[in-house]
Structure formats: C-alpha cells, structure tokens
Amino acid sequence: MKTHWRFSVYPLLSVLVLLIDQWIKVYVRMLPLYEAFFTVPGILELTHHTNTGAAFSMLSGHADMIAVFSALLLILLMVFLGKTTRLTTIGKISVVTLIGAGASNLIDRILFGGVTDYIQLLFIQFPVFNLADICITCSVMIMSILIMTGRLDKQPEEFTHGSKD
C-alpha cells in the first residue's frame, strides 16, 4: 500500500500545479485586458494580458503550431517519466512540475488562443508572465543544474539497494 502512495504523489503534484494556475487564470480572465488589478508600486503589477506566442512572445500569432509542439513535448516528458526509474526525488518533482505547468499553458492555448499572463515586473523591462511560467523556468533551471552536476539520476548504489523514493 505504501508503494502505491509514493507513485501517486508525483501525478498529484502535476495536477496541483495545473489546477492552481488555471484557478488564478479563471479570475484574471474575468478582468478587462491590460487593466491593473493589484499594484506594488515600483515592484510589480497584476494585470490581464494574453500571449499568443511562446516564451517572450516569440512566434506570436502561431498559437496552433506552438500548441502542437507543446503537446508533443508534454507527451515526451510523460513517456520519459514513465520509463525512467533512476530519477532522484528532486528530478521527479522538477519533471512533474514542468508537466503540470506546461499542460496549464497548453490548455490556455487550445481554449483561448493564447496564454493568460498577469505578472508584470515594474523595475525591469520584462514580458508579462504567470505562475506556470515561473514553474517551467524553475523546473528547467533545477534540471539543468542536476544534469550539469551529475545528480539527475540516482547513484548506482542507491538504485541497486532500493532507496525510499
């Protein structure tokens, strides 16, 4: 029974990221476009924007192509996660967070023709973004660090002796 719980936690984390991001976006989409609804002077502003492109509005207006590419990447990540048994706990958390956040932005692209963004930094010139974007960026950064330091996979002794993960 305990083994079943461990394996179900990771998909639940992915779903949790997706649901929290979508819940915020439902509220944001009720507000007028480009109108700030919360401001911390000089730091950030919460406002309703729609990004029809990818990161930093690249390929703007090609939401269909980006949606197909995103769906393929999500499928590859899920296959990778399902086939690998050697990922460390932080590696698994990074991958499932990436899947949940990517799926949330994909839902926006399919249903609304673009991703709902709402966080605008005021102290630097930077594109508007959302919680899913933060999760994607952090997950990719963590996985990159794990890969560069050789810590993405469990060590052979952890794998052969069966870790608690």
At 50-64, the pLDDT tens digits run 988 776 566 666 677
Which residues, including other chains, have CB under 8 Å from residue 26's CB and lie 6 or more apart?
none
Contact between 159 and 86 (Cβ < 8 Å): yes
Average pLDDT, the chain: 86
- For β-strands 115-121 and 44-51, DSSP reports them as antiparallel
The pLDDT value given to residue 12: 92
Q: Which residues pair with 153 in a beta bridge?
A: 87
The pLDDT value given to residue 84: 79
Q: 165 pLDDT band (50/70/90 cuts)?
A: low
Q: Among all chains, which residue has been given the structure tokens 């979508």?
A: 22
pLDDT at 28 over 60: yes
Of 35, 33, 63, whose CA–CA distance to 50 is shortest? 33
* Secondary-structure breakdown of the chain: helix, strand, coil percentages, each rounded to the nearest 5: 60, 15, 25
pLDDT at 25 over 80: yes
pLDDT at 160 over 70: no
- Quote the CA–CA distance of 35 and 28 in Å, as a whole number: 10
Active site residues: 117, 133
What's the mean pLDDT in 109-113? 91
